[in-house]
Amino acid sequence: MDYDLDADQEALRGAVATVLARHAGPARAKALSSSEAIDDDLAGALADAGYLDLLGDPDAGPLAAELVVEWVAAAAGIVPVAARALVGPAVLDGQLPPTMTVMVEGDRGPVRFAQAEAVLVVGENDARLMRLAPGALEPVATMYGYPMARVSLAGAEVLDSGPAEQARRWWRVGLAAEIAGTMRAAFDLTLAYHKQREQFGRPIGSFQALQHRMSQVYVRCEGAAWLAREAAFHRAGGERAAAAAAYAAAAAGTVCAELHQMTGAIGFTREYDLHVWTLRLQTLRLELSGAGGHARALATARWVTPRPSSSGAGAAR
Amino acid sequence: MDFAWSPEEETYRKEIRAFLDAELPPDWTTRRRRPDSDEQVARSKDFCGRLAERGWLTPHWPKEHGGRDAPAWQHMILGEELWSIGEPRGPQYMNVNWIGPSIMAAGTDDQKRYHLGRISRGDVIWCQGFSEPDAGSDLASLKTRAQRDGDEYLINGQKIWTSYANAAEFCYLLARTDPDAPKHKGISIFLVPMTTPGLEVRDVHAVVGEHAFHELFFTDMRVPASTRLGPENEGWGIIRSVLSHERVGVPRYGRAMFQLGLIASWASERGLLADPGVAERLGQAQAACEAARALVYKVVDERAKDVPPSPNAYVARAAMVQAEWAVGEAGMVVMGPDGLELDTVADDQFRFGMTAGVAAGTYEVQLNLIAGLALDLPRS
């Protein structure tokens, strides 16, 4: 057991930070937000450096891949990094496209990053990687930080497939990692604001009414991050993946509301960076049936005895 | 960063589980388990004796005091396994976690000889005489007075919220020896036999459990100066390090998870796990417990690496309180009015959980410490 980054992870952090400093960050996120597209420069830079293929790399592994997802989320990158770096390589054996996203089969709602090269469509038993037919996307106007579209699977081509349960578990780990990175960045901005913003002649961070709330947000940020890292390290076991996502998604709702309330009116402006992360938290916390869905999955994995007929990789509870 | 148990740690956990399976009665998991119940306190001496024979009561203590110098993670695993089945050590977790270690750190040779053997054999119950009617969160404002009188101290005052005082043989007592010094500088510690004349114990009839709390009254109680632990007026420094152990020394999330499992079993027997609302409540409470566990592990990691105590201990404590509350709430909501019946698991967890955010430093004090020490926010 070791809660500190090892030398390789430390080196990875520095290297990824260099890429993110050049191709990500809140200013870039705001500049690109109207284009309703994935940030191909960032996706390309991460792919070229090999940072999207760490999960299967024996020198890196799933925890390193999870950390990259957290860091990219904290830098507000507009790339489907969790789907491509965690879900894809964990579920599919074949060559992965440069960008991919994940959706639930039959979902008629907006799909985050539907503009990716391929979509992993997660059904009851199978998760199928599909290339959508031309005209399959109906873009959705949104302020919530990611390009989104409604998706039609008519005429889509199946490229590959894998077990759906595995896909759901890694999707949950990915969501937990994205939420953890996003919440932490929003928290850090708000913490700095609390030390610098003065009212009634003192920094607002000196008011105990706000201190207690900041402390509670910090506990949630920490809890979400460590559960996500653990779940990735343990290769998305059903309980761990669901626990990480359930905790993170519930935290995301609270943290978004709390940080905005504690920032006040400046937080409502496009100019101020807070919304770059907080509005994304709304998207992230609702995906894959949200905190309630993750919590139900956790209860099922922990307390509902698997039926003998449902054993096997794809149907493990 | 690495979250794997070592083979030694896994073996250790398996050995403890096998021991518990063999030693605890077959109906252990279904009977009342509150650490402060009469039954549990009585049982704890027998159980701790057997743990001690196995070398597992004080494994983290140094060899010279009957321990095995066990690594921090082994201490963690032991505590987690015991709390995860309802803490059969009863009140003795306090002895081994911090009363013993504080005697090792500050005690005289006589005190070490007299107390450490008893504690490590598992046949002594202690209570902590800390809180007073006017000294709760602001513990250092305590007023119980100890006046030096030759080779003795004359002690007058009152303590309250003292758990296990009905069964205890010794009290770890904080008293003011210098009323003129700043409040943190005039406090001393006394290791007081509960049979000392002038000490009276009264039950506080509480809604959180039988014998959960007591009042202690000291009326011209005389104790030999040899019962003082550490130098006169320097008790607060000793207490501060003691409290940092208290904060995460108790993996209460383990007990909360255990209770949640019983609530889930209750729901399962009635086919309620298929109810999405029930499953959701249970899952959210479990996730809160898991978060507390992960944050406690972070503190143990620091302890294992011998880094100085950090504010992460307060983060872990806050998360544990949240977990206790979440399980109490899940129990009530899932069991509904059935949970109102005395000694059902929901009743047990709800009432026991009420104390989680108050005992051993309130939730709000933890939040203050996080704000000041972890977040470096300006003083309020």
Per-residue pLDDT, averaged over B229-250, amounts to 82
Provide the mean pLDDT of chain B: 92
Inter-chain residue contact B280 with A242, CB threshold 8 Å: no
Same domain, B260 and B366: yes
Q: Are B242 and B290 in contact (CB under 8 A)?
A: no
Q: Is the pTM of this model over 0.80?
A: yes
CB atoms within 10 A of CB B154: 16
Contact A295/B at CB under 8 A: yes
DSSP state of B234: B
Interface A-B, measured as beta-carbon pairs within 8 A, has a size of 176
Q: Flag whether B109 is in a domain.
A: yes
Same domain, B46 and B99: yes
Total number of domains constituting chain B: 3
- H or E element: which one contains A286? helix A274-286
Of B201, B235, B269, the residue at which a domain comes to its end is: B235
Of B72, B102, B124, the residue at which a domain comes to its end is: B124
Same domain, B163 and B52: no
Grade residue B89 by pLDDT with cuts at 50, 70 and 90: confident
Distance from the B311 Cα atom to the nearest Cα atom in chain A, whole angstroms: 11
pLDDT digits (tens, 9 = 90+) for A127-162: 999 999 999 999 999 999 999 999 999 999 999 999
What are the boundaries of each domain within chain A?
166-304
List C-alpha distances in Å: B348 to A18, A72, B67, B90, B325: 53, 44, 34, 15, 12
More confident residue, B166 or A263: A263
Inter-chain residue contact B377 with A195, CB threshold 8 Å: yes
Distance from the B76 Cα atom to the nearest Cα atom in chain A, whole angstroms: 12
Three-class secondary structure assignment of B269-312: HCCHHHCHHHHHHHHHHHHHHHHHHHHHHHHHHHHHCCCCCCCH
Same domain, B97 and B139: no
Q: Flag whether pLDDT at A307 surpasses 50.
A: no
Same domain, B169 and B71: no
Inter-chain residue contact B279 with A207, CB threshold 8 Å: no
The Cα–Cα gap between B301 and B149 comes to: 46
Grade residue B31 by pLDDT with cuts at 50, 70 and 90: low
Same domain, B281 and B295: yes
List C-alpha distances in Å: A184 to A74, A102, A188: 7, 24, 6
Residue B189 β-bridge partners: B174, B229
Same domain, B193 and B259: no
Residue A161 β-bridge partners: A128
Q: Determine whether domain A166-304 maps to CATH 3.40.640.10.
A: no
Inter-chain residue contact A304 with B268, CB threshold 8 Å: yes
CATH number of the domain that B273 lies in?
1.20.140.10
Q: Flag whether pLDDT at A268 surpasses 90.
A: yes
**Per-residue model confidence (pLDDT) at position B66:** 83
The Cα–Cα gap between A181 and A24 comes to: 14
CATH number of the domain that B219 lies in?
2.40.110.10
Same domain, B223 and B165: yes
Distance from the A217 Cα atom to the nearest Cα atom in chain B, whole angstroms: 10
Chain A residues closer than 8 Å to B298 by CB:
3, 222, 226
Per-residue pLDDT, averaged over B289-307, amounts to 95
Which value does ipTM take for this structure?
Answer: 0.94
Pick from A155-159, B57-61, B280-284: least confident: B57-61
pLDDT digits (tens, 9 = 90+) for A87-126: 999 999 989 999 999 999 999 999 999 999 999 999 999 9
Same domain, B222 and B164: yes
Q: Which of A223, A250, A299 sits opposite B295 (nearest CB)?
A: A223
The Cα–Cα gap between A128 and A118 comes to: 10
Q: Which domain holds residue B281?
A: 251-374
pLDDT digits (tens, 9 = 90+) for A55-66: 999 999 999 999
Chain A residues closer than 8 Å to B319 by CB:
219, 222-223
Contact B297/A at CB under 8 A: yes
Chain A residues closer than 8 Å to B334 by CB:
none
Strand arrangement of the beta sheet that strand A126-131 belongs to = A100-104, A118-122, A126-131, A157-163
Q: Which of B3, B281, B376 sits opposite A1 (nearest CB)?
A: B3
Of B109, B124, B139, the residue at which a domain comes to its end is: B124
